[in-house]
A and B are shown apart, each in its own frame.
Chain A
Amino acid sequence: MEKIYLDYSATTPMAKEVVKAMEPYFSEKYGNPSSLHALGKEAKDALEKARSSLAKSLNAKSVEIIFTGCGTESNNLAIKGVAFANRDKGNHIITSNIEHPAVLNPCRWLEKQGFKVTYLDVNKEGLVNPKDVEKAITKDTILVTIMHVNNEIGTIQPLAEIGKICKKKKVYFHTDAVQGFGKLPIDVKKMNIDLLSASAHKILGPKGVGLLYVNHNVKIEPIQHGGGHESGLRSGTENVAGAVGFAKAIEIAKDMKKEMEREKKLRDKLINSLLKIEGSRLNGSRTERLANNVNVSFKGVEGEALLIRLSQERLQVSTGSACSSKSLEPSHVLTAIGLTPVLAHGSLRITLGRYTTEEHINHAINVIPKVINSLRKISPF
């Protein structure tokens, strides 16, 4: 039975064009970009071409793009790298409490190394107030790191406003744009972003390649040392095929405006239909929300049970329920926007993407109420 994939924020399938673009770099074009011979040059050229396209998509310079192994690594390099390089200036970092663990955990680790971290609260919709950022900045602040788009509830943060404040206060601004890159336009210059993390596998690219944009004025140290690849910030023989695939993916994403409008229509159809189910509520903002994201809670059902039953009905989705997490704690994002554990318990995340069709959404609209009803028959509430 054909599965219906509606979990694009977890990862995406690779576009056929991406696979095709990468293939030569696994087979005949296998050179090491550091080698001086023809095969090496061929690989180096491909790597630099990829770097250049990715840089252009952000309005950055090629030298400002560092290839990494994933979004998680980009975040680690940005946060730890800036923290350690700027210890003489201060030891304070500002972030939000709805960041991905790939930001929260490097921050927590830095706390153990003597840094101070402020975790800003968000409002009920999941938005950071730029004024809170401004208020939290002290003379010791060296870095503000606020995500672009939240991976669970799709909230889009006011990056440009935060960027402006950071520029005024002369504090570095990093954003984890893993969910927004390739879906929303980003201009790092206009938005005053100093560092930005992105990952290929969220935008039809391959797993195992990410990037960190680092403005050329930023003082940063590597966290991985070696042969000095990637301007010395990320040693290790480059993933040429991955970089080529990433560049192809961002090329495909050029029509993002049109694509996002398409997804938004489908998304809204789905949200409107799910909210008709009794005891449901939308989590996150209705307006400041990425066009691909649905996050709804249902009373009287538990997310993991819901997810498995939906999987039986071909739907591949996700949940923030405590039962589904290794820690048996509900999603920190849902808790941060004020959901009670009971509501977080019954949360369902559905994320659309490039290959989502109207039929897929209709199937979801058809199946979800049925599954919820059947679980509610088992439930005391």
Chain B
Amino acid sequence: MALEYNKKVMQYFLNPKNVGEIKNPDGVGKVGNLTCGDVMWLFVKIEKDKIKDIKFKTLGCAAAIATSSIITELAKGKTIKDALKLSNKDVVKALGSLPVIKHHCSLLAEEALCEAIYDYLRKKKRPIPKFLEKKHQKIKKAGNVCK
């Protein structure tokens, strides 16, 4: 099963981009996947409503690491508004494909990004779009937010 990953996924898994933490980040998203015990932390630096810098740390399978890595690339330079539009489907598409059983790992990436932006807006005391609030509540309720 391990070997069903395509070349691109393997590349991102073996040489992930944007690994690490950001000092004094503007927003942090920490999510976990209760299905298998994976954890992803995402840090963002935001300037003029654009994602200036973004870094991640992930404990998870090869797919989790590859999706974490590619979502940082997809989000970097995007406005908050556009970044919030990124879904796990975009992540899978960007990687070409993922084994079906690994699709839940890409959800982790989407949720971490939303949570990081949510965190940023909350800290800045800026209005939080309704859909984002809803999503945040859903993630929290599912227990997918790590302490």
Contacts and interface: CB of A to CB of B under 8 A. Distances in A.
Interface residues of B, number: 27
B22 interface: no
B19 A377 contact: yes
Contacts of A323: 36, 38, 60-61, 64, 105
Contact of B59 (A302, A311, A326): A302
A380 B57 contact: yes
A86 to B, nearest CB: 39
B16 interface: yes
Contacts of B37: 302, 322, 330, 341-342, 345
A293 B65 CA distance: 29
Contact of B36 (A308, A328, A377): A328
A300 interface: yes
Contacts of A328: 35-36, 101, 104
Contacts of B105: 323
A308 B101 contact: no
- Prevailing SS type, chain B contact patch: mixed
A73 interface: no
B16 A308 contact: no
A324 B1 CA distance: 8
A342 B41 CA distance: 17
Contacts of A380: 30, 39-41, 57-59
Interface centre among B19, B65, B105 (most CB of A within 10 A): B65
Contact of A322 (B13, B19, B35, B65): B35
A309 interface: yes
Interface in B111-129: none
A378 B58 contact: yes
Interface of B: 1-2, 5, 10, 13-14, 16, 19, 30, 35-41, 57-62, 64-65, 101, 104-105
17 contacts: A302-B38, A302-B61, A305-B64, A308-B2, A311-B2, A312-B14, A323-B60, A323-B61, A328-B101, A328-B104, A378-B57, A378-B59, A378-B65, A379-B59, A380-B39, A380-B41, A381-B39
A-B residue pairs, 8 tightest by C-beta: A322-B36, A323-B61, A380-B57, A304-B61, A379-B59, A341-B37, A380-B41, A345-B37
Interface of A: 300-302, 304-305, 307-309, 311-312, 321-324, 326, 328, 330, 341-342, 345, 377-381
